Homo-oligomer: A and B are copies of this chain.
């Protein structure tokens, strides 16, 4: 058996742990040959690959990123060769020429769509979900998310000392363009007073009210806002004040925008920090190393049992799998009845909602 592995889409802590687990398990349990395909699907389009043996994956468990490289935008079905045809057939030919019997593809939503395309062309594929945002369907958790939450929480711990010392409003903007998981768990773990998510449009005035109440008592407010959060349309107070910028300008991110909108409404200084790319780099947390190892091992089991065209998922505390075809094109937002949202509100945190 000869299996190729590739990582697609944005990097994420834990990718190397998956690569290691798949490689070691296939070698140890199936005597397989394993080949690493470089830079995602690009390594199939412009062939670039290298053998993966046990020593090649020694010590990579704790490394961030992916030793195979990745690429955000190479889709063989939308990348056209000299003859005007897409290069997917060339990619399949590459696999055949190399004698690769099947692929383990680690990636997000977009990568799984491509993986499914290869499955339809007859390439046996096993998918491993990669989403730092924790927003892929069918899996309760994915590796990388815990690491991102840890960066957010540690950053909030740091910002809190400044907020307290100066009696300031400090805003941290986290990743999460469409789903607010990182903002929610990171904000809860970091002790934020206000958490603003894409799923729940917020009122600037309601946030300002929280700040003013806290000013009256202790003086500081810690706000955790996800990149994709946005203000309620009907937020007239703010619109009036920001009349000269009718479209929310987000050059510096929504956190910066919120800082500007809040400043005239509160007494204390408002400062914003966009946590940025540090959220996705670096060594995975131990939790993510274990989860990624479980995902990789489970992927190897699917390969060994010939159970292809499926994606590994975590349901409850169990690794299992779903059909690849059921994954593509969907994402998992924070449901408005999620217990953590209730807990946040129960503890007196604000989600930026106007009080009735």
A interface residues (Cβ-Cβ under 8 A, vs B): 7, 10-11, 13, 15, 20-21, 24-25, 27-29, 39, 54-55, 58-59, 61-66, 69-72, 140-141, 146, 149-155, 157-162, 164-167, 170, 185-186, 188-191, 217-218, 251-252, 269, 271-278, 280-282, 285-287, 289-290, 293-294, 297, 300-301, 315-319, 339-340, 342-343, 346-348
CA distance in complex: A286, B272 (Å) = 22
Minimum CB–CB distance from A330 to chain B (whole Å) comes to: 19
Residues in B with CB closer than 8 Å to A69 are 164-167
Residues in B with CB closer than 8 Å to A346 are 24-25, 28-29, 297, 300-301
Residues in B with CB closer than 8 Å to A63 are 161
- Given A153-B286, A277-B271, check contact A347 B25 (CB 8 Å): yes
Q: Which residue of B lies closest to A27 (CB)?
A: B348
Q: Which residue of B lies closest to A61 (CB)?
A: B191
Q: Which residue of B lies closest to A252 (CB)?
A: B252
Contact A218–B55 (Cβ < 8 Å): yes
Q: Which residue of B lies closest to A343 (CB)?
A: B297
Minimum CB–CB distance from A188 to chain B (whole Å) comes to: 5
- Given A319-B339, A343-B297, A346-B300, check contact A189 B281 (CB 8 Å): no
Contact A158–B281 (Cβ < 8 Å): yes
CA distance in complex: A246, B274 (Å) = 26
Instruction: List 26 A-B pairs, Cβ < 8 Å.
Output: A10-B166, A20-B347, A24-B346, A28-B346, A58-B218, A63-B161, A65-B165, A69-B165, A72-B166, A140-B316, A153-B286, A155-B278, A157-B281, A157-B282, A160-B281, A161-B281, A162-B277, A186-B286, A189-B289, A273-B278, A274-B276, A285-B287, A293-B347, A294-B340, A297-B343, A318-B339
Residues in B with CB closer than 8 Å to A71 are 166
Residues in B with CB closer than 8 Å to A7 are 165
Minimum CB–CB distance from A24 to chain B (whole Å) comes to: 4
Contact B286–A166 (Cβ < 8 Å): no
Contact B191–A347 (Cβ < 8 Å): no
Contact B11–A277 (Cβ < 8 Å): no
CA distance in complex: A190, B297 (Å) = 17
Contact B25–A290 (Cβ < 8 Å): no
Contact A274–B277 (Cβ < 8 Å): no
